[in-house]
Amino acid sequence: MRKVLNIVLACLFTTLASAQENPVKIVFDVTSSNTGVHESTMRHVKMMSNAYPDSMFEVVMYSGAYEMVVKDKSAVSDEMEALAKNNNVDFVVCQASLNRHEIDVSQLVAGVRAVPDGILEIIQKQGEGWGYIKEGQ
């Protein structure tokens, strides 16, 4: 049993070490208005950006997720603002979604920037080799 445990630990260590040597780039797709989804997204990004500081993470919000980035409406504004200060985390929102809901960029959580189209942003990231995670319920 001890031998098996040592092998498992060795494999785990090797996997973690190789992940650090090979940084990844991950784009998170958030469209839900559900604040539970917003909260879990922040947990995922925080955990991964801390565990893999050489990797890059971008959260793209559009459609029903627009309130996630509005200062006075966001359930995760404090977490988002803190994570946005990390060099390996970026938060972007679809300008078309902002326009549709008549939200000005001055209303956004600090550290969030607008891109012309959220879906196009994701497609471009995937074209550059970024991994994709759809955050949902």
pTM for the whole structure: 0.83
Task: Express each pLDDT in 44-89 by its tens digit.
Answer: 999 999 999 999 999 999 999 999 999 999 999 999 999 999 999 9
CA 133-95-63 angle, to 5 degrees, is: 50
Does pLDDT of 90 surpass 70? Answer: yes
Domains and CATH numbers, the chain: 23-135 (3.40.1260.10)
Task: Express each pLDDT in 111-124 by its tens digit.
Answer: 999 999 999 999 99
pLDDT, position 5:
41
| Number of H-type helices and E-type strands within the chain | 5, 5
CA distances from 36 to 41, 57, 74, 76, 84 (A): 9, 20, 12, 10, 20
pLDDT tier for residue 22 given thresholds of 50, 70 and 90: confident
